[in-house]
Amino acid sequence: MIPKRSKYAIKALTALAKVYRDKQHLSIATIAEQEKIPRKFLEAILLQLRNEGMVNSKMGASGGYYLVKHPDEIMLSAIIRSTGGPIALIPCVSLNFYEECVECPHEELCGLHEVMLEVREASIHILSKTSLADLILREKKLFRKSENSRK
Amino acid sequence: MIPKRSKYAIKALTALAKVYRDKQHLSIATIAEQEKIPRKFLEAILLQLRNEGMVNSKMGASGGYYLVKHPDEIMLSAIIRSTGGPIALIPCVSLNFYEECVECPHEELCGLHEVMLEVREASIHILSKTSLADLILREKKLFRKSENSRK
DNA sequence: TAAATATACTACTATTTTAATAGGATATAA
DNA sequence: TTATATCCTATTAAAATAGTAGTATATTTA
Ligand code: FES
Ligand code: FES
């Protein structure tokens, strides 16, 4: 499981992606309300994302946050990583939270290691080809689909 | 990430799978030492696996644990589930640890939900086609490979 | 230029989950 | 009958996660 932190980050950045035209920005308060994220917690998350270089901010009245890159170029895997969410199922196959397996004498001889590596690859494959723009597109498609099935 | 509990369970069951002929059994102490798992913790894990019906035990002197099913039929996904390890990355797409997303008004309209569902499917696909027997086979292959590359 | 609005930053607390241990009861073999 | 194991409940310890408080700083706008 990824932490809520990461999920909130994806939600918040998606909100920013939806207004991405000419560096339009949104305030923490606006995003928090829209996405139902605890305000102060979101503040901490966005600050972190800013330090990671994923977003930029403008201080003062009518300030706020905006995306640095195009929604097409911001991948879910990058957001999860920037917010400390592990994708791998065990530490010895994690890129960002790697820890040696004290129980396994040789990593390269471990069958479980090999399988978990495959799982990680499969997950990362999906998460690093899906961008914020894709997420928005998917939502549009899902909405159209539900509209049609209601007829 | 899955809990250590699940990883230990896989390791322990693999040890049992290696001696699976005519219901041969191993004691907790033996497995704990072999796989470098804290003894008392392993005891709790095996007890749980027994209550889940994955293994059986024999009490008293020269007792121990043994697999109920053939190593071919015991899949990693089942072990992870039996020990309470989540495979999904977020609760709203988890089969065994499902929780509704309070932030998302409609699950079926949520793009993130859809992507995370795909990730889960990919992970489960691998984990539920890999058995304990496969794990042992993989290890044999890895060993042979490393032998060859040493020449 | 003052008031209002918003982010920046540090530090803290609370909650939950996970990992691990303790210790006695019970069963079985030698 | 002694040694060896599992059975079972309860507890503790440690770590990770979630969320909050409060003040400093920057910027707009009236
Ligand atoms: S090396 Fe990590 S599970 Fe064996
Ligand atoms: S429904 Fe779970 S992330 Fe939207």
For ligand 1, whether the C-beta of A113 sits within 6 Å is: yes
Cα nearest neighbour of B1 on chain A: A89
Pairing of strands A55-58, B64-67: unpaired
Ligand 1 mutation pick, A112, A115, A117, max ligand atoms within 8 A of CB: A112
Q: Are A48 and A30 in contact (CB under 8 A)?
A: no
- How much is the average pLDDT of A1-20? 96
Q: Identify the pLDDT of residue B24.
A: 86
Cα nearest neighbour of A147 on chain B: B109
Looking at residue A114, its amino acid is: E
Handedness of CA A50, A54, A59, A63 (dihedral sign): negative
Which window residues (37-56, chain B) lie with Cβ within 7 Å of strand D? 43-44, 46-47, 50-51
**pLDDT tens digits in sequence order for chain B, 151 residues long:** 999 999 999 999 999 999 998 778 999 999 999 999 999 999 999 999 999 999 999 999 999 999 999 999 999 999 999 998 999 999 999 999 999 998 898 999 999 999 999 999 999 999 999 999 999 999 999 999 998 886 6
Nearest to A79 by CA among A99, B138, A71: A71
Nucleotide C10 C1' to residue A82 CA (A)? 21
| Distance of residue A20 Cα from the nearest chain B Cα, in angstroms | 18
Contact B119 A126 (CB under 8 A): yes
Q: Identify the pLDDT of residue B38.
A: 96
- Closest residue (CA to C1') to nucleotide D29 in the complex: A61
Q: Which of ligand 1's atoms lies nearest the C-alpha of A116?
A: 3
- The continuous run of DSSP H or E covering A57 comes out as strand A55-58
Q: From residue A137, how far is each of A14, A22, B16 by CA, in Å?
A: 11, 20, 49
B107 touches chain A (CB under 8 A): no
Q: Identify the pLDDT of residue A151.
A: 63
Question: Model confidence over A18-69: pLDDT tens digits?
Answer: 999 877 899 999 999 999 999 999 999 999 999 999 999 999 999 999 999 9
Q: From residue B58, how far is each of A109, B23, B31, B69 by CA, in Å?
A: 32, 11, 15, 16
Rounded distance between C-alpha atoms, residue A102 and residue A32, angstroms: 42
Cα nearest neighbour of A1 on chain B: B89
A148 touches chain B (CB under 8 A): no
Question: Model confidence over A13-26: pLDDT tens digits?
Answer: 999 999 998 778 99
Q: Which of ligand 1's atoms lies nearest the C-alpha of A107?
A: 1
